A and B are shown apart, each in its own frame.
Chain A
Amino acid sequence: MGEYRLQAAALGRLMPMHLALDGRGRVTSAGATLERVVGERLEGADFFARFALRGVAGRNRVADLPWMARMHLSVRDRPDLSFRGQAVPLGPGKGALVNLSFGIGVVEAVQRFDLTEADFAPTDLTVELLYLYEAKTAVLEELRALNRRLHGDKVVAEGQALTDALTGLGNRRALEGALEGMVRPFALVALDLDGFKAVNDRLGHAAGDHVLATVARRLEGACRAGDAVLRLGGDEFVLLLPGMVLADAVLRRMRRVIAAVAKPIPWEGEVARIGLSAGVILAEEGGNPPADALLPRADAALYAAKRAGKGQAVVWHPGLGEG
C-alpha cells in the first residue's frame, strides 16, 4: 500500500466539506463549502468542541471516532445543522481525515446557504439530485393538473349519466326521460325496501350494496318485455308497466314481485332479510293524472303501504292526498 501526500488546495477541491484533524483533534485544514455553511473559519478549532457525534455521547478524542463507518454529527448548539460523514485515520497518532455531506438534507441546504455548483466536487451527484427533485416536482404538478381536469370531467359525466353505477339501472334522470316517452295507459309503481337500514347497520355498507344489486336483478327478473326498472337512489326503486289499466291486475303482479324480492339474501356467511313495499298509480289514457303528479301520488300510496305494515302494495286513491 502506498502513502499519498496531497496539497491542502487539492484536498479542498476533491472534498470541499472535509476536515483534517491532528492527533489532538485540532482542525488543520477545512473545506471551503463546510466553512461557508458553518459560517466561520474552522482551521485551528477543536473538532470535538465544535461538532457533536450523534448517538455516541462522551466521545471526544480522535481515537474515539468510528473509523471507516458512517457517522452522523451536528454543529454544537445548532442541531438544525447536521451532516453525514466518514472518518479515516491518517496514521498512528497522526489524526484523521473527516469528510462530510448533507445527506438527504441537501435540497434544503442548497436553498438555505445559496450553494452553487462550485461548492460541490465535480464527482458529487448533488446537482443531479437537485435536477431530479425539480423535474419530478414539475412532473407531479402536471399529473395533479391532469387529475384535476379528469376529476372535473368525471363530475360532469356523472351529472349527465342516466345509469345508476351500483345497479346498472336507470336513475332519476332516466325516469324523467322515460316518463316523457311513455304511451298511456301504464302503471307507475314506487318501491321502497323494508328493513334495509337494519341490514346496513348489522352487516355494513358493502352488504347493503350487495342487497341493492340483488334486488335490482330480482326486479328485472320479475319484469315483462317493455317494463322498466329504475333506481332513484338509496333503497327507492320505480317500475314502469306499460299497458296496465286495472288496479287488481297490478296488485296481483306486485304481490309476486314482493314475494320474489323478499327472499333471504346470503352475504358472507350471514343472511340479509329485507321486504318490499309498493305504491301504485295508474296513468290513464287522456292524461289523467298529469305526468308531474304521477310520482308524488305513487309516493303517497307507498307511504300508505308502509303504514299498513311491511310487504304491502297500495293503489293510490284520492283519500291518500297528492303526496
Chain B
Amino acid sequence: MNGLVNRAIQNFLRDGWGAAAWADAARAAGVPAAGFEPMLEYDPALTGRLVAAAAARLDRDGDCLLEDLGTWLVSHPSRAGVRRLLRFGGPDFVEFLHSLDDLPARARLALPDLALPPLRLEVVGAGLFHLYVGPGLAGAGAVARGLLRAMADDYGALAVIEGEDGAGDGAAVLTIRLLDTAFAEGRAFTLGRA
C-alpha cells in the first residue's frame, strides 16, 4: 500500500510549497500526472525518486524534508486522522513511546498491505530511550524524528530527539531524551470522536 505513503508526500509538497512545486517534482521523478491514488500500489522506486526530486526542486536537504514530512503528518489540520490514530497509543508520551513497538501491527490491522519497518523501543535510563527503526523503508528514520517531535508537542512533553540513519536501507537508531513530561498543556484528545 505504498500509494498511501506517496500520496502523503504529494499532499505535503502541495500544502507546503504549492501546486507548481509539486508538479515540478512529480515531472522530474516520472510520477503519473494525476498524482497518486492512496489505495493503489506503485513502483517502490518511485518514492525515493520523488523525495530526491522534491529536495532538488526546493533546494533542501532530503533528510530535513523528510523530518518536516513527519512533523506535518501529525500537526497539519488536514492530517488530523493520523494524529488521532497515533494518540490511541497511550495517555501520555512515555506510554506512547512504548506503544511504538506495536505500531506496525496496528497499521496492519487497519490496512493489511501497509508495511511499516519494525520498531523497537529500549529504555536506556531515566528519561532516555533508543528507538530502533528496522530496515525496509528508506528515509523512515528521518520521518520518525519529525513525527516524534510533533507527538511530544502534542502530548505537551519536552523532549530532544536526535538520531543517525544507518546504511541506506532505511534502518536508523533514534535517541529520545525526555526532559519534562508535563512541559506544556498539550493538545486535547478524547477517545470518542467529537
| Given A134-B81, A146-B38; A139-B191 close (CB under 8 Å) | no
Complex contact B91–A114 (CB within 8 A): no
Closest 6 CB pairs of A and B: A111-B192, A135-B110, A131-B88, A110-B192, A117-B91, A138-B81
B109 within 8 A of A: yes
Complex contact A146–B88 (CB within 8 A): no
A50 within 8 A of B: no
Jot down 15 A-B pairs with beta carbons below 8 A, ordered by A: A110-B191, A111-B193, A112-B192, A114-B190, A115-B192, A116-B191, A117-B91, A118-B91, A127-B191, A134-B84, A135-B109, A139-B110, A142-B39, A146-B37, A146-B40
B106 within 8 A of A: yes
Within 8 A of B (CB), among A114-151: 114-118, 127-128, 130-132, 134-136, 138-139, 142-143, 146, 149
Complex contact B191–A115 (CB within 8 A): yes
B124 within 8 A of A: no
Cα distance, A134 to B38, chains bound together (Å): 17
* Total cross-chain contacts (CB, 8 A): 55
B111 within 8 A of A: yes
Complex contact A114–B192 (CB within 8 A): yes
A37 within 8 A of B: no
Cα distance, A132 to B102, chains bound together (Å): 13
Cα distance, A149 to B81, chains bound together (Å): 21
Cα distance, A206 to B190, chains bound together (Å): 54
Cα distance, A132 to B85, chains bound together (Å): 9
The chain B residue with its CB closest to the CB of A131 is B88
Cα distance, A115 to B88, chains bound together (Å): 13
Q: Which residues of A contact B190 (CB under 8 A)?
A: 114, 116
Complex contact A131–B85 (CB within 8 A): yes
Complex contact B192–A107 (CB within 8 A): yes
Q: How far is the CB of B192 from chain A (nearest CB, A)?
A: 3
Convert B58-85 into 0s and 1s, putting 1 for each residue whose CB lies closer than 8 angstroms to a CB of A.
0000000000000000000000010011
Cα distance, A16 to B85, chains bound together (Å): 24
Q: Which residues of B contact A131 (CB under 8 A)?
A: 85, 88, 106, 109
Complex contact A117–B39 (CB within 8 A): no
Q: Which residues of B contact A111 (CB under 8 A)?
A: 192-193
Within 8 A of A (CB), among B89-133: 90-91, 106, 109-111
- We find that the number of chain B residues with CB closer than 8 angstroms to chain A is 19
Q: Which residues of A contact B106 (CB under 8 A)?
A: 131, 135
The chain A residue with its CB closest to the CB of B91 is A117
The chain A residue with its CB closest to the CB of B88 is A131
With a 10 A CB-CB cut-off, give which of A118, A127, A136 has the most chain B CB atoms.
A127
Cα distance, A131 to B108, chains bound together (Å): 12
Q: Which residues of A contact B111 (CB under 8 A)?
A: 135, 139
Q: Which residues of B contact A117 (CB under 8 A)?
A: 90-91, 191
Cα distance, A139 to B111, chains bound together (Å): 8
| Given A131-B106, A134-B81; A149-B193 close (CB under 8 Å) | no
Q: Which residues of B contact A132 (CB under 8 A)?
A: 109-110
Q: A117-B90, A131-B88, A146-B40 are known contacts; what are 20 more A-B pairs with Cβ within 8 Å?
A: A107-B192, A111-B192, A114-B192, A115-B191, A115-B192, A117-B91, A127-B88, A130-B191, A134-B88, A135-B85, A135-B109, A135-B111, A136-B110, A139-B111, A142-B38, A142-B39, A143-B39, A146-B37, A146-B38, A146-B39
Cα distance, A312 to B26, chains bound together (Å): 61
Cα distance, A135 to B108, chains bound together (Å): 10
Cα distance, A143 to B85, chains bound together (Å): 18
Cα distance, A149 to B106, chains bound together (Å): 28
Cα distance, A184 to B110, chains bound together (Å): 64
Q: How far is the CB of B137 from chain A (nearest CB, A)?
A: 19
With a 10 A CB-CB cut-off, give which of B81, B109, B190, B192 has the most chain A CB atoms.
B192
The chain A residue with its CB closest to the CB of B109 is A132
Cα distance, A277 to B60, chains bound together (Å): 72
Q: Which residues of A contact B39 (CB under 8 A)?
A: 139, 142-143, 146
Cα distance, A304 to B4, chains bound together (Å): 62
Q: Which residues of A contact B38 (CB under 8 A)?
A: 142, 146
With a 10 A CB-CB cut-off, give which of A114, A118, A132, A142 has the most chain B CB atoms.
A142
Complex contact B81–A130 (CB within 8 A): no
Q: Which residues of A contact B109 (CB under 8 A)?
A: 131-132, 135
Q: Which residues of B contact A138 (CB under 8 A)?
A: 81, 85, 110
Q: How far is the CB of A170 from chain B (nearest CB, A)?
A: 29
Q: Which residues of B contact A139 (CB under 8 A)?
A: 39, 110-111
Cα distance, A118 to B40, chains bound together (Å): 38
